[in-house]
């Protein structure tokens, strides 16, 4: 079975309340530059609202690879 990939982008609002955006099956050749460009646009344009207002910072990003095996 082919591994399943998920991109998780972690953010916080001005009060440090955390929120995440996950993308299943991002393009295979996604780079950190691509992700930083997207997260920068999310923060700079206040595209996501957290618990206490717009997201103000990106806390980090991870690619999660999951392999499923039938037993």
Taking only the tens place, the pLDDT of each residue in 3-49 is 899 999 999 999 999 999 999 999 989 999 999 999 999 999 999 99
Instruction: Flag whether pLDDT at 1 surpasses 80.
Output: no
pLDDT at 61 over 90: yes
Let me know if residue 47 belongs to a domain: yes
Using alpha carbons, select from 5, 14, 15 the residue that is nearest to residue 62: 5
Whole-structure pTM value = 0.88
Is residue 54 a part of any domain in this protein? Answer: yes
What Rg do the C-alpha atoms of the chain give, in angstroms?
A: 14
Domain count, the chain: 1
* Full domain range(s) for residue 39: 4-66
In a domain, 31, yes or no: yes
pLDDT at residue number 69: 86
């Amino acid at each position: 079975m082919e591994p399943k990939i998920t991109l998780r982008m972690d953010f916080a609002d001005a009060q440090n309340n955390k929120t995440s955006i996950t993308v299943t099956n991002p393009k295979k050749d996604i780079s950190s530059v691509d992700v930083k460009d997207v997260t920068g646009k999310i923060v700079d344009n206040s595209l996501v609202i957290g618990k206490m207002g717009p997201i103000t910072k990106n806390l980090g990003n991870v690619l999660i690879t999951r392999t499923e095996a039938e037993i």
